[in-house]
A and B are shown apart, each in its own frame.
Chain A
């Protein structure tokens, strides 16, 4: 009898909780699942943003995967991601190591170093544009002063790609700095003392102790930064718009172009889905590495 009452109460409580949680769950499903479902539907139709158009099956995916523009954008996305993730990590990690030691003005400098990350990207792209875009910009003037004339920072495809990657590193390293500083703080100082007593040099300490002990945080920061970089639209769009001659077009910029400039949402969304699949694959690979470290 007592058992039955307890079961009834438990059922009622479960029902109540379900009822209370239902609005939030439905809202989440609508907010998250509906746009994805709608986008998936768009990717198998050939329409525009007003009319869905005829069903074309996987034709849009075929079009995307045979489009040279897609592979050009995929190639630059890979370069941009590797440069952005590794570049910002190297700088962030190095700064994390430096800032482990106390020195005068450390706190103020730490705040200053976070500025590229804190300042809105619209402002930072404008300042970089001012720095390099025209012949009267400071950097071209400086280069001209040392005898390097006509350096086309944003007009030359290779240099523009380099500038975009450098810009990405510049706005991203503070994030890595924060992540790596936290990871380095977590290492027990006695490990270093023991290593010193055993006669380990600085390089050995770094490669045999510091890096392995922070590997988990490193992989997590790589996963996060990979996602940020692959999905980074404003950096490219505001600095170069994907030019010159598509040299800095990433997949997310290409998808935007297809949907909102060429008015072909089917192919644009197909690009986004292919991109998402690639992102999931990269994340899984990195998470597997994290598990191995763990």
Chain B
């Protein structure tokens, strides 16, 4: 014992040697060429969609049921939306990113242009071979780029026009079917202190941006031309913005909404302060109690150009170039996309499905608001790239950026005429796109 104590007596030299050994151990370990005999797991990053925690629970269960066969297994990881861009870019830049992920609507287009995401054509071929590529009209086309499909669509955030049925009935009004009717019904609602076009234009929400772009698309306009160049000052957009400014002047749009966040807007929908407005398809799931039962989806409003339309965002599954095995990623992505039906059967998804088979499920057909959204609004919907036939990476910074936020806030404040406002937005988008 005594001898042992002498042998291990701590001194400066021993201490330094021990420190060096401790530091060297992990490095030596890393040099070990042995490795595990099993295949390396692919990482699948999934954002927190739909109902939040219940959604994630279902998603994790689905991923756990995946049988890779001879290919690489998959490890599920839930990723919060907060700072999603930083999370993905820093991970990708440091080589620690996922092999497969869900993400923001234009993320796959941006990452595809950067060479970080690979075309999903192989996975879509697998879906087609499995008879599961029964996408709703235009959905798959919207994912197409010159390099191939940017991702596999699996969910749809669609803007539709809602109204509070009881409020309109009590006022003896019918839901509007055209823009002039929207103006007239809005004036009648203003008389009873109800907002005719509810929106939230605060800097931390894209709600008002989506409403105005929906109206632009509905009138045959949009932020871009067919060559994907900014085309904000088109005749169709000027006409749209003049209409919106008239709604502002008539008090049909609440001036307070310039600072509203989405919670403020939903609160006004719930309290009956808002009677009509564009919102995502799941408004009846967002609201509670009487209001949830009272909101109805109207038919698409016919614009002065005789057109209808709206804005949608496609949620996609994307495959990354930095992957242990491309074939394994494609197999998992195709398999997972086919399993996403469960999100709607389990009621954990607020967005719309993107396939005919899910649209035909009783969970969908039992809700008249969802049926109307799919039958009437989805076919006339376009992405924020409209009128460009293809989405592109720069939309990542246009959508939800400061340029759009300032634009809609100026509109809601009614501080200028249509053309100067659109010219400013045009210049801002051109600057963003470099």
Q: What residues make up the interface of A, taking CB atoms closer than 8 Å to B? A: 16, 19-20, 23, 48-51, 129, 133-136, 150, 152-155, 160, 237-238, 240-246, 257, 260-264
B127 to chain A minimum Cβ distance, whole angstroms, is: 28
- Report the contact-size class of chain B (Cβ under 8 Å from the partner): 35 or more
A5 to chain B minimum Cβ distance, whole angstroms, is: 16
Question: Which A residues touch B227, using CB under 8 A?
Answer: none
23 contacts between A and B (CB under 8 A): A16-B12, A19-B16, A23-B19, A48-B89, A50-B114, A129-B264, A134-B273, A135-B273, A136-B273, A150-B255, A152-B259, A154-B202, A154-B258, A155-B256, A160-B259, A237-B204, A241-B203, A241-B204, A242-B203, A246-B406, A262-B401, A263-B85, A263-B396
For the complex, is B92 an interface residue (Cβ under 8 Å from A)?
yes
For the complex, is B261 an interface residue (Cβ under 8 Å from A)?
yes
Question: Which A residues touch B201, using CB under 8 A?
Answer: 243-244
Q: Contacts A152-B258, A244-B259, A262-B403 known; list 13 others, CB within 8 Å.
A: A16-B16, A23-B19, A49-B93, A133-B259, A133-B261, A154-B256, A155-B258, A155-B413, A243-B258, A244-B413, A245-B406, A245-B409, A264-B397
Interface of B is mostly: helix
For the complex, is B54 an interface residue (Cβ under 8 Å from A)?
no
**Complex contact B256–A243 (CB within 8 A):** no
Question: Which B residues touch A51, using CB under 8 A?
Answer: 114
The closest CB in chain B to the CB of A262 belongs to B397
**Other-chain contact of A133, B12, B92, B260, B432 (Cβ < 8 Å):** B260
**Complex contact B259–A261 (CB within 8 A):** no
A85 to chain B minimum Cβ distance, whole angstroms, is: 25
**Other-chain contact of A134, B83, B264, B405 (Cβ < 8 Å):** B264
Question: Which B residues touch A50, using CB under 8 A?
Answer: 89, 92-93, 111, 114, 116
A63 to chain B minimum Cβ distance, whole angstroms, is: 10
Complexed CA–CA distance, A93 and B35 (Å): 65
For the complex, is B267 an interface residue (Cβ under 8 Å from A)?
yes
Interface centre among A136, A238, A244 (most CB of B within 10 A): A244
**Complex contact A155–B257 (CB within 8 A):** yes
**Other-chain contact of A260, B86, B254, B268, B403 (Cβ < 8 Å):** B86
Question: Which A residues touch B12, using CB under 8 A?
Answer: 16
Complexed CA–CA distance, A136 and B83 (Å): 32
Interface residues in B36-86 (C-beta closer than 8 Å to A):
83, 85-86
**Complex contact A49–B85 (CB within 8 A):** yes
Interface residues in B386-434 (C-beta closer than 8 Å to A):
396-397, 400-403, 405-406, 409-410, 412-413, 415, 432
Complexed CA–CA distance, A144 and B121 (Å): 60
A49-B89, A50-B116 given; A242·B258 CB < 8 A: no
Complexed CA–CA distance, A95 and B111 (Å): 55
A243-B203, A244-B409, A246-B406 given; A133·B264 CB < 8 A: yes
Complexed CA–CA distance, A135 and B86 (Å): 36
Question: Which B residues touch A152, using CB under 8 A?
Answer: 255-256, 258-259
A180 to chain B minimum Cβ distance, whole angstroms, is: 34
B89 to chain A minimum Cβ distance, whole angstroms, is: 4
